[in-house]
Amino acid sequence: MATNHQQIQLQLDEKKDKQRKIFKIVGLSVIYIVLTIWAILTFVPLIWMFISSIKDTTSITQVPPQLIPDQPTLDAYRRVFDVGGFARWFLNSVIVSTILTISNVVLASLAGYAFAKLKFPGRNTIFWILLGSMMIPGQITLIPLYILIVNTFQMADTYLALVIPTLVTTANIFLARQFMASLPSTLIDAARIDACSEPKIFWKVILPMAKPGLAVLGIFTFVANWNNFFWPFLVTSSNEMRTLQVGLTSFRYQYTADYGAMMAGAVLTAIPMFIVFLALQKYFLKGITIGAVKG
Amino acid sequence: MSEVRFVNVSKEFEDDNKGKFTAVNDATFTIEDKEFMVFVGPSGCGKTTSLRMIAGLERQTSGDIYIGDRTVNKAHPKDRDIAMVFQDYALYPHMTIRENMSFGLKNLKRPKEEIEKKVSEAAQILSLENLLDRKPRELSGGQRQRVAVGRAIVRNPKVFLFDEPLSNLDAKLRVQMRMELSELHKRLGATIVYVTHDQVEAMTLGTRIVVMNQGEIQQIDTPEELYKNPKNMFVAGFIGSPPMNFVRGRLDGNIVQTVEHALVVPEDKLLKYAEYQGKEVVLGIRPEDVINIEHLPDAPAQNVIEPVIKIVEHLGSEFLVYFGIGEETIVGKISSDYHMEVFKKHQLYINMEKMTLFDPQTQMRIG
């Protein structure tokens, strides 16, 4: 009797195990299918951009569209460089993004450290005001900012106009404060007892520990400024001062548009971002979790 | 001379939740040269704040602090000739052990040879020679603790400050480090100020102990005096494990009358209790002064009670037995040579020779 009972029990257990396995497989399959569709949806525009960039001018607007061009050509790329200015736009983008990355890393880390670790009157009030300013939509500040930079300071069409408004952003100060707050305060106390001056504490103790956080901040800032279109579009007018994103609009004429060149330009613009992303993937992931509550 | 002196020192904090509160209230004391002074008390009693004020990491709201013969009220930590070991060790994670230990001396711009010599000496004292080129994350808790001590030693300061340095270690390592710290004190001959919430650590390490509660100094004394002659019920309840038992009663003649028992006070003690005749008192009895009558065949008939034992905890060489007197639960520490049974009556002798009486209103010791 006992053996029979045990056998039945074993069979029941096996059945349950099988059911569990099936549920697991079905569950995983659903997740993979959803993620695959998501990946395809994300990837299609990029692939379309690349395919369009190697089509000739007639096949690019053909209906129905060619998924794989009959005669792939690099003509569009040639036109990008022939029109003139691409190299300069690229340089402008590099200059603006680099300056803003450096300034944001330096200023946001200093401000973040002060808000997280130093005691001074009004610290919380100032921080809350800064946080409050993050809630004002960019569209509201755009016109006053434009008037300030272009009319009052007469900076239109200069590098200063491109960089001054975002030398340091509130979002970056907030991000820096969050990871600075996670560093143990006793290290600062220990450094004070170790006869370290306040600037040296920041330089020798805080900065080395804040490196991963600052890397995230730097990468995000670089990518955001590289992809920025609207502000450079507003404050630049000459061909020499355009950044890549603004430059790409030059391929749109009054009645026509050179879509091939636009796509080729977009591919060339995106390449540095791909490299940055692939090289620094782990920091991107870290960036998503900074400020998140640990479980 | 490296004595530390507090004169009417107070520290107030502004806290978002608590509002304004006093962490240390009007503290006056002297830590003698070469003394091992331990600050002990529950969380938030002001012991760490006192230590941080000596270090210069917090500025006192009022009063004066002296290290040696000069005031250090406004002195920067680096100018106080102190070194500190933190609870979490506070080792710089990006520096090697050698760099951690030499960081302070480098900042003080000492010659390179001197720095190397001092680091290797400290490493030798603490058996850290083989770890000097490692990073803190590669070390165990005990090794990190040693590095933190080493970093303090190389400074050769007048005063060492320890902020609960053993609380992150496991029980076995804590006992070992306790011994090492005690030896280190003898070897260095320096003044040590040590903060802990663990009264065992305080009793074993301190030449004197400052007991604090809610920002107030309760008593400053040697471990033995604190144990035998606590100034008030807080100290009596805080020092000793398990703590002293308190039973309410009335002093009538030579008797302390509790709810259930009449306990006889020794003649020689009666004089100092004269003022409290006929008044309410709190009787304090240490757990080891509750003795199984079987241990004392010649015990006097008086002061023997026969309670029902509620709980017996086995500690190996002894039992902790719990029983009630009125509404109070009393604990006795009794040798495990004789069997004790739960829910049975046992004859227990209360050693009134070592009792203490407290005023129930002021909670201060009587006499």
- Please tell me the distance from the alpha carbon of residue A258 to that of residue A256, in angstroms, as a whole number: 7
Residue ending a domain, choose from B185, B216, B238: B238
- Tell whether B109 is covered by a domain: yes
Residue of B53, B72, B78 to mutate when probing chain A, most A C-beta within 10 A: B78
pLDDT at A226: 93
Tell me if the bond preceding B242 is cis, omega within 30° of 0.
Answer: yes
Considering just the CA atoms, what is the radius of gyration of chain A in Å?
27
pLDDT of residue B239: 92
CA torsion sign for A12, A14, A18, A23 is positive
Q: Which of A184, A195, A196 minimises the CB distance to B90? A: A184
Contact B104 A186 (CB under 8 A): no
Query: What distance in Å separates the CA atoms of residue A263 and residue A279, rounded to the nearest whole number?
Result: 24
Query: Lowest mean pLDDT: which of A258-262, A282-286, B208-212, B300-304?
Result: A282-286
Q: Which of A183, A192, A193, A206 to mutate to test the interface with B (most CBs of B within 10 A)?
A: A193
Q: Which of B212, B238, B264 is the last residue of a domain?
A: B238
Residue B104 forms contact with A (CB below 8 Å):
yes
Q: Is A183 on the interface with B (CB under 8 A)?
A: no
- B156-178 residue pLDDT tens: 898 999 999 988 888 888 888 88
Domains contained in chain B, number: 2
Pairing of strands B19-31, B4-15: antiparallel
Residue A289 is predicted with a pLDDT of 64
| Contacts of A263 by beta carbon, 8 Å cutoff, 6+ apart | A49, A50, A52, A53, A60, A76
Query: Quick one: tokens of B361?
Result: 């209103």
Show residues of chain B in contact with A192, CB under 8 Å. Answer: 56-57, 76-78
Q: In the prediction, which pLDDT does A293 show?
A: 45
- Could you tell me which residue, A62 or A49, shows the higher pLDDT? A49
Q: How many pairs of residues across A and B have Cβ atoms under 8 Å apart? A: 56
- Give one word for B356, left, alpha or beta, with left for phi > 0 and alpha for psi -120 to 50: beta
Of A186, A194, A197, the CB nearest to B104: A194
| Tokens encoding B284 | 């304090």
CB atoms under 10 Å from CB of B108, counted, come to 12
Using DSSP, state whether B26 is helix, strand or coil: strand
Kind and range of the H or E run holding A249: none
Give yes or no: residues B267 and B219 share one domain. no
For residue A184, what is the nearest residue in chain B, using CA coordinates? B90
Between CA B199 and CA B211 the distance in angstroms is 9
On whether the CB atoms of residues B23 and B14 are closer than 8 A, the answer is: no
Contacting residues of A for B88, CB less than 8 Å apart: 184, 186
- The single-letter code of the amino acid at B263 is L
> What 3-state DSSP class applies to B164?
coil
- Do the Cβ atoms of A186 and B90 come within 8 Å? yes
| One-letter amino acid for residue B317 of the chain | S
A198 in reach of chain B (CB within 8 A): no
CA distance B211 to chain A (A): 25
| Lookup result for tokens 């009787």 | B283
For residue A186, the distance in angstroms to the closest alpha carbon of chain B comes to: 6
| Same structural domain, B344 and B201 | no
C-alpha distance from B93 to closest chain A C-alpha (Å): 8
B185 and B97 in one domain? Answer: yes
Buried b (16+ CB within 10 A) or exposed e, B195-216: bbbbbebbbebbebbbbbbebb
B161 neighbors B55 (Cβ within 8 angstroms): yes
What mean pLDDT value characterizes chain A?
Answer: 88
The verdict on residue B365 lying in a domain is: no
Share of chain A above pLDDT 90, in %: 57
Option in A193, A205, A208 nearest B77 (CB): A193
- Domain boundary among the residues B185, B204, B238 is at B238
Interface contact B107-A208, CB threshold 8 A: no
Tell the burial category of A276 from Cβ atoms under 10 Å away from its Cβ (0-12, 13-18, 19+): middle
Specify whether the CB–CB gap between A100 and A225 falls below 8 A: yes
| B79, B216: one domain | yes
Q: Decide if B340 contacts B292 (C-beta within 8 A).
A: yes
User: Which amino acid makes up residue B24?
Assistant: V
State the Cα–Cα distance between residues B26 and B68, nearest whole angstrom: 20
**Burial of residue A244 (number of CB atoms within 10 Å: 0-12, 13-18, 19+):** buried
Give the residue from chain B lying closest to A195, CA to CA.
Answer: B78
Q: pLDDT for B79-111, tens place per residue?
A: 999 999 999 999 999 999 999 999 999 999 999
**Does position B38 have pLDDT exceeding 90, yes or no?**
yes
Q: What is the mean pLDDT of chain B?
A: 91
A198-208 pLDDT, tens per residue? 999 999 999 99
Q: Residue written as tokens 């006097």? A: B300
Q: What are the sequence ranges of the domains in chain A?
A: 2-53, 85-289
Other Cβ atoms closer than 10 A to B146 = 24
Residue B352, pLDDT above cutoff 60? yes
The pLDDT value given to residue B65 = 96
DSSP B20: E
B52 contacts on A by Cβ (under 8 Å): 189
DSSP-assigned states of every residue in B97-122: HHHHHHHHHHHTT--HHHHHHHHHHH
pLDDT of residue B317: 87
Is residue B38 located within the same domain as residue B81?
Answer: yes
Longest dimension (CA), chain B: 75
Query: Shortest Cα distance from B103 to chain A (angstroms)?
Result: 7
A294 pLDDT higher than 50: no
Mean pLDDT of B237-256: 92
B211 touches chain A (CB under 8 A): no
- Domain residues for the domain of B78 are 4-238
Is A121 within 8 Å of chain B by CB? no
Instruction: Tell me which residue in A184, A194, A200 faces B88 most closely, judged by beta carbons.
Output: A184
Measured between CB atoms, does A189 come within 8 Å of chain B? yes
**Within a domain: residue B114?**
yes
> Are the beta carbons of B103 and A194 separated by less than 8 Å?
yes
Is residue B40 pLDDT above 50, yes or no?
yes
Q: Does B63 touch chain A (CB under 8 A)?
A: no
- In the DSSP assignment, the letter for residue A13 is H
Q: First and final CA of chain B: distance in angstroms?
A: 36
Averaged pLDDT, A111-125: 92
- B161 and B258 housed in the same domain: no
Give the gap in angstroms from C-alpha B105 to the nearest C-alpha of chain A.
Answer: 8
Closest CA to A228 of A105, A41, A101, A85: A101
Say whether both B183 and B316 belong to one domain. no
Task: Give A13-57 pLDDT, tens digit per residue.
Answer: 888 888 899 999 999 999 999 999 999 999 999 999 999 999 888
Choose among A250, A226, A265, A238: nearest CA to A81.
A265
Interchain CB distance below 8 Å, B108 and A189:
no
CB of A139 within 8 Å of a chain B CB? The answer is no
**What gap in Å lies between CA B216 and CA B198, rounded to an integer?**
18
Residues in chain B within 8 Å Cβ distance of A194: 78, 103-104, 107, 151
Cβ contact, residue pair B104, A195, below 8 Å? yes
Considering only A49-58, B205-214, B243-252, B292-301, which range has the smallest mean pLDDT? B292-301
Residue B75 is part of a domain; what is its CATH number?
Answer: 3.40.50.300
CA distance A130 to chain B (A): 20
* CATH number assigned to the domain comprising residue B328: 2.40.50.140
What is the distance in angstroms between the Cα of A188 and the nearest Cα belonging to chain B?
A: 9
Residues B173 and B270 in one domain: no
Answer whether B78 sits within 8 Å of A192, measured CB to CB.
yes
pLDDT for B293 equals 87
Contacts of B56 in chain A (CB under 8 A): 192-193
B180 and B281 fall within a common domain: no
CATH superfamily of A85-289: MetI-like (1.10.3720.10)
Contacts of A200 in chain B (CB under 8 A): 107
Backbone angles phi and psi of B25, in degrees to 5: -120, 110
Give which of B216, B212, B215 is closest to B226, Cα–Cα. B212
**Collapsed DSSP state (helix, strand, coil) of residue B307:** coil
Could A186 and B83 be called an inter-chain contact, meaning their C-beta atoms sit closer than 8 Å? no
Residue B147 touches partner A, C-beta closer than 8 Å:
no
Rounded distance between C-alpha atoms, residue B223 and residue B38, angstroms: 10
Q: Which two tokens stand for residue B91?
A: 């080792």
